[in-house]
Chains A and B, each alone.
Chain A
Amino acid sequence: MIEVVNLHKYFGMLQVLKGVNTRIKKQEVVCVIGASGSGKSTFLRCLNLLEEPTSGEIIIDGIPLVEQRKDINRLRQKVGMVFQQFNLFPHMTVMENITLAPMKLKGMSKVEAHDKARDLLSKVGLPDKDNEYPNRLSGGQKQRVAIARALAMDPEVMLFDEPTSALDPEMVGEVLNVMKQLANEGMTMVVVTHEMGFAKEVGDRIMFMDEGIIYEEGAPQELFDNPQRDRTREFLGKVL
C-alpha cells in the first residue's frame, strides 16, 4: 500500500535521508527503531508530506508523489499521525478535538460525528472524558485522545512518532495497549518507537535505521535474536 523508492531528504546542506527503499503492505505493522538523529522522524513525516522529500518516489495506494502533491490535504486524510507531544488542540474539548476534522473535512453531521467520537473514546478507554479540556488529562489520556482524533478520519494508515516517549513510565502501557488493539484489528501502522518489547510483540517487521538509511530490516525474531550486521548488534546491545 506504501512504496518508497530511493527517498532522499536534505535540510539545507544536511543530508538526513540517503536513499530509503521499502514497501509497506496493507495491515502490516512496521516498527522503526534506531538511534536519535538517524532520520526516523523525517522518514515518517515524508510519508504524509509534512516534510517535502528532496528526491525519490513515494507511492501510496498506487498514487505517485506528483499526484499526491496536487491534493495533499486529501492524502493526509488517509494517513493518520500521532505525535510524541500529543498536539491536542488546547482551546477545544476532547469531543471538539475529535469531531472537528470529520465535520469540517468530510461534511459529517454533528450527531454522526459525536456518535463516532463516543465510540472511539470508549475504544481508547476514555468514555467519560468527552467534555474535558486537554490540560485536565494525564499524558497517557492525552495520547489516547490523540489516537482517537486521528482515527476519526478513518485513515488507511496510522503513523506514530515515538508515541510514548513523552509519558511517565506508568502511562506507557495504556497507550501501547490501545495501539496493540488497533494492530490486531488490522490497521496498517508505521511506529517509530524505543519500546523494544512492543516492537517485538506487535511488529510484523522491524526496520533499523542508521544514518539516513534502512540499515537492516526483518521479522522481529530475526532482527532481535539474530541481527546480521555490526551496527544493528551494537544498537541492540545498548537498548535491550
Chain B
Amino acid sequence: MDSVIKSLSDAIYYNLIREQRYMQFIQGLGISLQLTLYAAVLGTIIGLFMALAKLGRIKWLQGLATLYVDVIRGTPAVVQLVLIYYAILGSSNLPKIVVASVAFGINSGAYVCELIRAGILAVDRGQMEAARSLGFSYSHSMIYIIIPQAIKNILPALANEFIVLLKETAIAGYIALDDLTRAGNIVRGRTFDAYTPFIVVALIYLYITTILTWLLNKLEGRLRESD
C-alpha cells in the first residue's frame, strides 16, 4: 500500500510539480481552447455560407460547395492540417495558432455546412410555400421564416460539433503547435514516464468536454421548453 502511494506521489511530483511542469499543461489547454474557439467561429461562418450555397439555385456555387464538403469530409484532418501549414500558409510568417485556426476552421466548416443544411431542410416545406404565397422572395422567406426555425434544430448539433472539434485539435502538434496534447508529449520527453502525462491530458479533456456537454444538455432543454 505504502509503495503504491509512494509511486503515485512520485509520478505527480515528476510530471506536474517539478520545474513547474503543470504550467505546460495549463498553457497547452489555453492553446487548445483558443484554437477551438477561433476554428469554431470561422467554421460557423464558412459552414453557413456553404450551406446557403448548396441550398441555393446558383449551379456553380452549388458545385463549389459540394466539392468543398466532399474533399474535406473525404480526407483526414491531419493531412489537411499539414498540407495547409506547409503548402499554403507555412511560407508566410503567420503565427502557428492562426494557421491552425484556419485549417481547423476550414475542416469544421464542412461539417457545420451539413448540419446547417440538415437543420434548414428539417423545417416543414409548407413554411416556405406559405411565405412565398404571401409574396416574400426566396431570400426573405429564408431570413424571416425558415432560418429562425432552423436555428432550433441547428444549435444543439452545432454545440456538439464544437465539443468534437476540441478533441480534434489534439493533432495540432503535427505542426509543432504547443496544444494540450503536445504538452503531454513534451513532459513525457522529460520524465520518460509513458502513462502519467497522457492520463493528465485525458483527464483535462474529459473535464472540459463534460462541462460543455452539461451546458449542451441545458441548451437542449431550453429549446425544447420553447416549443
B207 within 8 A of A: no
Bitwise, A121-163 to B at CB < 8 A (1) or not (0) is: 0000000000000010000000000100110010000000000
Which residues 44-82 of A have a CB within 8 angstroms of B? 48, 50, 73-74, 76-77, 79-81
A91 and B133 contact, CB distance less than 8 A: no
A83 and B130 contact, CB distance less than 8 A: yes
Per the bound structure, the CA–CA distance linking A85 and B144 in Å amounts to 20
CB distance from A98 to the nearest CB of B (A): 10
Per the bound structure, the CA–CA distance linking A76 and B135 in Å amounts to 5
In the complex, what residue of chain A is closest to B126 when comparing beta carbons?
A: A87
CB distance from A117 to the nearest CB of B (A): 14
Report chain A residues within 8 Å CB of B130. Answer: 81, 83, 87-89, 146
Bitwise, B82-93 to A at CB < 8 A (1) or not (0) is: 000000000000
In the complex, what residue of chain B is closest to A76 when comparing beta carbons?
A: B135
B136 and A73 contact, CB distance less than 8 A: yes
Count residues of A near B (Cβ-Cβ below 8 Å).
25
A101 and B136 contact, CB distance less than 8 A: yes
A90 and B135 contact, CB distance less than 8 A: no
A229 within 8 A of B: no
A100 within 8 A of B: yes
A76, A88, A91 interface centre (most CB from chain B within 10 Å): A91
A87 and B129 contact, CB distance less than 8 A: yes
Known contacts A83-B130, A135-B227: does B136 contact A89 (CB below 8 Å)?
A: no
CB distance from A23 to the nearest CB of B (A): 22
Per the bound structure, the CA–CA distance linking A59 and B131 in Å amounts to 23
B126 and A74 contact, CB distance less than 8 A: no
A238 within 8 A of B: no
Bitwise, B121-136 to A at CB < 8 A (1) or not (0) is: 0001011011111111
Known contacts A91-B148, A100-B144, A104-B144: does B129 contact A76 (CB below 8 Å)?
A: no
Known contacts A91-B149, A100-B144, A135-B227: does B132 contact A85 (CB below 8 Å)?
A: no
Select one of B124, B129, B135 contacting A73, CB under 8 A.
B135
A77 and B129 contact, CB distance less than 8 A: no
- The interface of chain A, by Cβ under 8 A from chain B, is 48, 50, 73-74, 76-77, 79-81, 83, 85, 87-91, 100-101, 104-105, 135, 146, 149-150, 153
Other 7 A-B pairs with CB < 8 A, given A80-B133, A101-B134, A105-B134: A50-B132, A76-B135, A81-B133, A87-B129, A104-B136, A105-B136, A153-B135
Q: Top 7 closest A-B pairs, CB basis?
A: A87-B130, A77-B135, A87-B126, A81-B133, A101-B134, A76-B135, A73-B135
